[in-house]
Amino acid sequence: MKLDAVRRFVSLVDVFTEYTGKLIAWLTIVVVVLTFAIVLLRYGFNLGWIAMQEMVLYAHGAVFMLGAAFTLKHDAHVRVDIFYQQFSIKQKAWVNLLGTIFLLLPVCLFVFYVSIDYVLLSWQLLESSKEPGGLPAVYLNKTLIWLLVLTLTLQGLAEVGRNWLIICDQNANGADHQGDADRHNHSAANKELL
């Protein structure tokens, strides 16, 4: 595959992930407003609705499930950083490339595989909440698992491409790309490559 095609793929997935992440971020405001309303209604007026509480759970789940790819794109996930910080940009690219290929992508495939029956059965039953007055679309909530896998796999493939471009770049010798600004420099190097 030509490097230009890799650059275009990485750029396309990055744009998709960026817009998706920013859109999903608005759900955090929905979670806060709904939670405030639930507490106010419950303790101020002795009122409560199960559907409203479930909406908070659904929105909260969507933020985490659909925000994972955005988190990966911005390198904001948890990293055990013992040696990585001292690596050159190419060494970091190798770690990220191998980690994505041998850890992230297999986990995505595994999650998809083990969730197939779980999600399909929910759709077949058009599963609704077991709670009286709950939301009628539990199957949509369970579908977030597949959307997590899809978006995280796409961003993972973009990360493979991004790191491969860094590895192939003759100018990224690493000596001038060390230190705590690793992702910042990584992003700048990516923009130059793209």
Please tell me the predicted confidence (pLDDT) of residue 79: 75
Q: What is the rounded average pLDDT for all residues in the chain?
A: 87
CA-closest candidate to residue 6, choices 162, 178, 151: 162
Q: Is the pLDDT of residue 136 over 70?
A: yes
- Whether the predicted pLDDT of 175 surpasses 70: no
Q: How confident is the model at residue 187 (pLDDT cuts 50, 70, 90)?
A: low
pTM of the entire predicted model: 0.81
Q: Please write the tens of the pLDDT for every residue from 63-73.
A: 999 999 999 99
Least confident of 1-5, 29-33, 151-155: 1-5
CA distance 70 to 50: 30
CA–CA separation, 194 vs 192, rounded Å?
6
